[in-house]
Amino acid sequence: MLATPISQQMAVGIDIGGTNTVFGIVDHRGEISYRGAISTKKHANIKDYLDELHEAILPALNQFGIDKLIKGIGIGAPNGNYYTGKIEYAPNLPWKGEIPLADLIQEKFGLPAALTNDANAAAVGEMTYGAAKGMKDFIMITLGTGVGSGIVINGELVYGHDGFAGELGHTIIIPGGRKHWSTGAHGSLETYTSATGVTLTAIELLNKYKDKPSILRNYDEDEIDSRLIYDCAIQGDELAKETYAFTGEILGRALANFVMFSSPEAIILFGGLCKAGSLIFQPAKKTMEENLLPIFQNKVQIIPSELKESDAAILGASALVWELK
Amino acid sequence: MLATPISQQMAVGIDIGGTNTVFGIVDHRGEISYRGAISTKKHANIKDYLDELHEAILPALNQFGIDKLIKGIGIGAPNGNYYTGKIEYAPNLPWKGEIPLADLIQEKFGLPAALTNDANAAAVGEMTYGAAKGMKDFIMITLGTGVGSGIVINGELVYGHDGFAGELGHTIIIPGGRKHWSTGAHGSLETYTSATGVTLTAIELLNKYKDKPSILRNYDEDEIDSRLIYDCAIQGDELAKETYAFTGEILGRALANFVMFSSPEAIILFGGLCKAGSLIFQPAKKTMEENLLPIFQNKVQIIPSELKESDAAILGASALVWELK
């Protein structure tokens, strides 16, 4: 049998979320030719979950020829550890403790598998198919429900000594600042630049500037979320815009510190908050530059992800496969 | 001619300081078999400087056989850029602008040469001969007149996109905090954990707690320096000890953020301030742990350098040679 040319190889990308698992078959250029999803939540038993996943993916594998074109399976999951191949104590998944998922998938599918957390997968995806193509040094920050990060140095993802490197959302930017709803830490990046953080900032500003009119005042506090704030901001609502300005400033402070650590070529931002565009990019850039040592100034781009948000998780997971040795 | 066995190869290490340049010939195990020094300051002309350096090192090279045993020359210098081999705008050296020092040395000596800044050289030295032997992921922090850093990830020094990575002394730990005497930034690590920072903290505490007795009150403010504070602290002076406790706490906050970036196996501390031992290590460790996400807690050692302070600069510079491809 002749070997398959590398350019024709395909990868399976699986992204495991707390509610659903999505997957796809991806080629070298990031084209997704098959997509599917199953429920994560309903499977308290990992064996049942793997059975359903296998059944769902099997038709696609047969179509492509499991032993010929598919190079392997990449998996993005919360608390996924690249070194051990285990999901370790993920608070929002149905399986407790340590789950040796890479091994289980490898066994079930008879294909090499690699696992990492979702933010790391996003960074590899961006490097393989997106805005970081050709970059050897960049930092990816995901601004979503939480704040995740993936760091690439010398063309390789930084996993650190134990596989858990790159928790930039939990670095403390404002000592003694806002208390994190889950970790209890004060002033971490995530308390300000996540969807929840933005919502808390808007509510704080509404209470602080009682005389300032805002569309947001038409809603109860518990109706305010990051989507509503975004809608108000693009309608020109001053208080909503100020919410983004503040968020961008905190982000900029954090980015300056990250740049002085690893001196990347670019910072790539991904996730819901990026939709606000210059409302957040512009203050982030300005504050970052102000906090940088001169040798770092005006060198680092802050750019949005080039991956479609709905595809990014599958693409990121699939990109792990091309890194398999 | 037979090739020299690698174990018998030697390296030249040159450390360029603002006042003096020191050098030595070093073997694979970090034994320095020849040492020397020339003035840096007196040579406004780089050519004269290189002539004197060459003349000073030549006897040693002849002794070891320039074309046989010496593998190359490593140079540590302020603002030394590994990628370009240039010293770039070093404020405290006699030569202005960009000096292509690695090329100049290579030409003058007919040996391969590598250049980096002093803190990066210290990190490579520690990895080759010292406390970080066998470690692939660690962060070296030098606590001296200034605060420098060298970061090792996957067994390689992090230079970043432009060669300037690892300026952790300039990361902002206390936004709006103490103003840096030279950069003007507020609350950077160096403003608190350098020799100058410690001195400023002691003076602040003396003024804040006027009723608190201290040996330091026997001195004028401009007589107080980090050495005096150290002497007082080991004599049990409470205010001097508190100065270290505060310094350690700030350091611990910074270290927590660094750990959540690259998840190192260890933090290695080097420089004058380390002499204070547990007075600074203990609060640094405690505060670091308090600020870490649980998955990072109780995993990262904080350890002192194992290189003799007087040898470290030469050893660090020489260690660059073993990394030459």
- Residue B112 corresponds to which amino acid? P
Q: Are residues A268 and A151 in the same domain?
A: yes
Q: Are residues B301 and B314 in the same domain?
A: no
Q: Are residues A85 and A184 in the same domain?
A: no
Q: Are residues A190 and A46 in the same domain?
A: no
- At B68, the pLDDT band (50, 70, 90 cuts) reads confident
Measured distance CA(B56)–CA(B108) in Å, rounded: 13
For A229, half-sphere exposure in the C-beta direction (CA atoms, 13 angstrom radius) is: 33
**A136 contacts in chain B (CB < 8 Å):** 161
Q: Are strands A20-27 and B87-88 parallel, antiparallel or unpaired?
A: unpaired
A260–B contact, CB cutoff 8 A: yes
Is residue A67 domain-resident? yes
Measured distance CA(B157)–CA(A243) in Å, rounded: 39
Q: Are residues B116 and B210 in the same domain?
A: no
Measured distance CA(A78)–CA(A61) in Å, rounded: 25
Give Cβ neighbours of residue A222 (< 8 Å, ≥ 6 apart).
Answer: none
pLDDT tens digits for B126-136?
999 999 999 99
Give me the pLDDT at residue B293, please. Answer: 94
Contact A125, A315 (CB under 8 A): yes
What is the number of domains present in chain A? 2
Q: What is the mean pLDDT of residues A207-228?
A: 96
Would you give the DSSP letter of residue A17? -
Q: Are residues B153 and B264 in the same domain?
A: yes
Looking at CA atoms only, how far is residue A65 from chain B in angstroms?
Answer: 36
Q: What is the mean pLDDT of residues A42-52?
A: 96
Burial class (CB in 10 A: 0-12, 13-18, 19+), A202: buried
Give the closest of A175, A264, A291 to B161, CB-based: A264
pLDDT tens digits for B282-307?
999 999 999 999 999 999 999 999 99
Q: Are residues A139 and A96 in the same domain?
A: no
Is residue B172 domain-resident? yes
Measured distance CA(A170)–CA(A146) in Å, rounded: 10
- At A4, the pLDDT band (50, 70, 90 cuts) reads low
Looking at CA atoms only, how far is residue B160 from chain A in angstroms?
Answer: 5
Mutate which: B138, B154, B261, B291, vs A, most A CBs within 10 A: B261
Widest distance between CA atoms in chain B:
76
Looking at CA atoms only, how far is residue A73 from chain B in angstroms?
Answer: 24
Give the closest of A163, A183, A260 to B168, CB-based: A260
The dihedral over CA atoms of B20, B26, B29, B33, expressed in degrees to the nearest 10, equals: -100
Of A1-15, A18-32, B185-199, B231-245, the range with the lowest mean pLDDT is A1-15
A160–B contact, CB cutoff 8 A: yes
Contact A269, A305 (CB under 8 A): yes
Of A269-278, B60-69, B248-257, the range with the lowest mean pLDDT is B60-69
Q: What is the mean pLDDT of residues B32-44?
A: 95
- Whether residue A175 and residue B173 make contact (CB cut-off 8 A), yes or no, is yes
Residue B187 corresponds to which tokens in the numbers above?
């609350």
**B172 contacts in chain A (CB < 8 Å):** 253, 256-257, 291
Q: Which of B120, B77, B119 is nearest to B99 (CA)?
A: B77
> In the predicted model, is pLDDT for residue B4 greater than 70?
no
Is residue A86 domain-resident? yes
Mutate which: B246, B262, B289, vs A, most A CBs within 10 A: B262
Q: Are residues B104 and B242 in the same domain?
A: no
Give me the pLDDT at residue B3, please. Answer: 62
Give me the pLDDT at residue B119, please. Answer: 92
Would you give the DSSP letter of residue B172? B
Q: Distance of CA A283 to CAs A235, A254, A278, A303, Å? A: 19, 12, 8, 13
Q: What is the mean pLDDT of residues B251-271?
A: 98
Contact A119, A149 (CB under 8 A): yes
What is the per-residue DSSP string for A100-169?
-HHHHHHHHHTS-EEEE-HHHHHHHHHHHHSTTTT-SSEEEEEESSSEEEEEEETTEE--TTTS----GG
Q: What is the mean pLDDT of residues A35-60?
A: 95
Measured distance CA(B80)–CA(A112) in Å, rounded: 43
> In the predicted model, is pLDDT for residue A49 greater than 80?
yes
Cβ-count burial B209-243 (b if 16+ within 10 Å, e if not): eeeeebbbeeeeeeebebebbbebbeeebbbbbbb
- At A3, the pLDDT band (50, 70, 90 cuts) reads low
Is residue A1 domain-resident? no
Q: Look up the pTM and report it.
A: 0.94
Give me the pLDDT at residue B1, please. Answer: 47
Cβ-count burial B251-280 (b if 16+ within 10 Å, e if not): bbbbbbbbbbbbbbbbbbbbbbbbbbeebb
> In the predicted model, is pLDDT for residue B143 greater than 80?
yes
A172–B contact, CB cutoff 8 A: yes
Is residue B1 domain-resident? no
Q: Are residues B187 and B236 in the same domain?
A: yes
Measured distance CA(B180)–CA(B186) in Å, rounded: 6
Which range of residues forms the domain containing residue A110? 6-127+311-323
Q: Which of A189, A135, A139, A144 is nearest to A166 (CA)?
A: A139
A173–B contact, CB cutoff 8 A: yes
- At A77, the pLDDT band (50, 70, 90 cuts) reads very high
Backbone angles phi, psi at B282, to 5 degrees: -65, -50
- Percentage of chain A modeled with pLDDT above 70: 98
A185–B contact, CB cutoff 8 A: yes
Give Cβ neighbours of residue B169 (< 8 Å, ≥ 6 apart).
Answer: B141, B146, B147, B148, B149, B188, B189, B190, B193, B194
Average pLDDT score over chain A: 94
Average pLDDT score over chain B: 94
Q: What is the mean pLDDT of residues B185-194?
A: 98
**B183 contacts in chain A (CB < 8 Å):** 293-294
Helices (H), chain A: 46-64, 101-109, 118-129, 189-193, 195-208, 226-234, 238-262, 278-291, 309-323
A119–B contact, CB cutoff 8 A: no
pLDDT tens digits for A310-325?
899 999 999 999 988 7
Looking at CA atoms only, how far is residue A230 from chain B in angstroms?
Answer: 28
**How many residue pairs bridge chain A and chain B with CB atoms within 8 Å of each other?**
120
> In the predicted model, is pLDDT for residue B2 greater than 70?
no
- Percentage of chain B modeled with pLDDT above 90: 90
Is residue B110 domain-resident? yes
A267–B contact, CB cutoff 8 A: no
Measured distance CA(B311)–CA(B22) in Å, rounded: 10
> Domain of B21: which CATH number?
3.30.420.40
Q: Are residues A91 and A238 in the same domain?
A: no
Q: Distance of CA A222 to CAs A202, A216, A286, B244, Å? A: 12, 11, 32, 46
Q: What is the mean pLDDT of residues B193-197?
A: 97
CA B16 to centroid of chain Cα atoms? 12
Does residue B5 or residue A112 have the better pLDDT?
A: A112
Is residue B167 domain-resident? yes
B173–A contact, CB cutoff 8 A: yes
Give me the pLDDT at residue A1, please. Answer: 47
Contact B259, B138 (CB under 8 A): no
Q: Are residues B181 and B91 in the same domain?
A: no
- Whether residue B154 and residue A151 make contact (CB cut-off 8 A), yes or no, is no
Tell me which chain A residue has its CA closest to the CA of residue B176: A174
**B256 contacts in chain A (CB < 8 Å):** 171-172
Q: Are residues B154 and B288 in the same domain?
A: yes
Measured distance CA(A245)–CA(A174) in Å, rounded: 16
Cβ-count burial B41-61 (b if 16+ within 10 Å, e if not): eebeebeebbebbeeebeebb
**A249 contacts in chain B (CB < 8 Å):** none
Measured distance CA(B264)–CA(B138) in Å, rounded: 5
